[in-house]
Amino acid sequence: MNRTILAISWVLTTFVGAQENLRPSLETTYSAWREAMIRRDPAAWQRVTAEHRRIEVRNRIVSEKLPFPAAAFDLPTAPPSLDGLKFLEVKQKGPTAKSFYYGKVDFAVGGEPTENLLVLSFVKGSAGWLYDRADFVNLMALPAVRKELAAGNLKYLKEVPEAQPSGTIPPTPVSAPTAKYIAKVYVFCPGREVQVQINKISRHRFANAKEAEIIIGGALDGPNEVQYSIKKLEGSTGKEVMTIRVYLMSQISGQNPVKVFEYQIAAGESPKSASTGTFNVDSALVAKIAGH
Please tell me whether residues 197 and 124 are part of one structural domain: no
The answer on 198 and 155 residing in a single domain is no
| Position 12 pLDDT exceeds 50 | no
Does the residue 256 lie in any domain?
A: yes
Distance CA 219, CA 197 (A): 12
Which of 82, 75, 73 is CA-nearest to residue 46? 73
> Does residue 204 have a pLDDT over 50?
yes
* Whether 66 and 125 share a structural domain: yes
Task: Give a yes or no: residue 175 inside a domain.
Answer: no
pLDDT beyond 90 at 181: yes
At 15, is the pLDDT very low, low, confident or very high (cuts 50, 70, 90)? Answer: very low
Q: Is the pLDDT of residue 201 over 90?
A: yes
The answer to whether residues 11 and 148 belong to one domain is yes
Query: Do you find a cis peptide bond into 69, omega within 30 degrees of 0?
Result: yes
Last residue of a domain, which of 113, 132, 163? 163
Question: Residues 136, 7: one domain?
Answer: yes
Query: Do residues 53 and 61 make contact, with C-beta atoms less than 8 angstroms apart?
Result: no
Instruction: Verify that 132 and 203 share a domain, yes or no.
Output: no
Residue 1's pLDDT band (boundaries 50, 70, 90)?
A: low
Q: Are residues 52 and 138 in the same domain?
A: yes
Query: Above 90 in pLDDT, residue 175?
Result: yes
Q: Which residue type sits at 181?
A: Y
Q: What angle do CA 287, 289, 292 make, to 5 degrees?
A: 40
CA distance 86 to 187: 38
Cα–Cα distance, 29 to 129 (Å, whole number): 7
Q: Are 131 and 29 in contact (CB under 8 A)?
A: yes
If pLDDT is split at 50, 70 and 90, which confidence band does 291 have? confident
Examine the pLDDT at 245 and tell me if it is beyond 70.
yes
pLDDT tier at 34, thresholds 50, 70, 90: very high
Query: Are 255 and 117 found together in one domain?
Result: no
Domain region containing 58: 2-163
Number of H helices, E strands in the chain: 6, 12
